[in-house]
Amino acid sequence: MVRSATSLTGNGVRDWLWQRVSAVILAVYTLFILGFIWFTPQLDYVAWFQLFQGIGVKLFTILAALSLLTHAWVGMWTILTDYVKPAYLRLILEVLVIIALFLYFIVAIAIVWSV
C-alpha cells in the first residue's frame, strides 16, 4: 500500500469518511445559523453578539471551522493527487494549501474568541 505523507489519514476510506463527517457537521451548523436567522425577530448586531457570547456556540463554530478545514483539505488533496502529476509541483501546491488553511483557521479562532 502506498502511503502519502500529505494525506489526512493515509487511508482513502478513512479520508472519505472524514470528509463525510465534516460535511454533516457543516450541514448541521448551517441549519443552526439559518434557524437563528429565521426565528430571530430583530436580526441586528446585538442579536448576533448575544448568540456568539455563549461558549457552546463558540465551540460549535470552531468545530465547524475545523470541519471546513478537514473537508477542504481532503478535497484539495484528492484534486491535487489526481490532476497534478509532477511530484515537486504537487508538494508545493499542497504546502501552500496547508498554509492557507492553517491561517484561515487561526483567523477564525481569533474572530470567534474576540467576540
pLDDT per residue as tens digits for the range 61-103: 999 999 999 999 999 999 999 999 999 999 999 999 999 999 9
Own/partner long-range contacts of 91-98 (Cβ < 8 Å, ≥24 apart): 91/6, 94/6, 97/72, 97/73, 98/6, 98/73
Query: Has residue 73 been placed in a domain?
Result: yes
Q: What's the CATH code of the domain at 59?
A: 1.20.1300.10
State the pTM of this model: 0.86
Query: Has residue 94 been placed in a domain?
Result: yes
The grid coordinates of residue 4 equal 502519502
| Mean local confidence (pLDDT), 3-17 | 75
Is a pLDDT exceeding 80 seen at residue 111? yes
Q: Structurally, how many domains does the chain consist of?
A: 1
Name the residue among 33, 25, 15 with its Cα closest to residue 65: 25
Is a pLDDT exceeding 60 seen at residue 5? no
**Residue 32 sits in which domain range?**
12-114
Query: Has residue 75 been placed in a domain?
Result: yes
pLDDT at 12: 84
Query: Has residue 98 been placed in a domain?
Result: yes
pLDDT at 11: 82
Query: Has residue 2 been placed in a domain?
Result: no
Query: Has residue 66 been placed in a domain?
Result: yes
Query: Has residue 44 been placed in a domain?
Result: yes
Query: Has residue 82 been placed in a domain?
Result: yes
Q: What is the DSSP letter of 7?
A: S
pLDDT per residue as tens digits for the range 12-27: 899 999 999 999 999 9
pLDDT per residue as tens digits for the range 42-57: 999 999 999 999 999 9
Task: Output 4 or 113, whichever has higher pLDDT.
Answer: 113
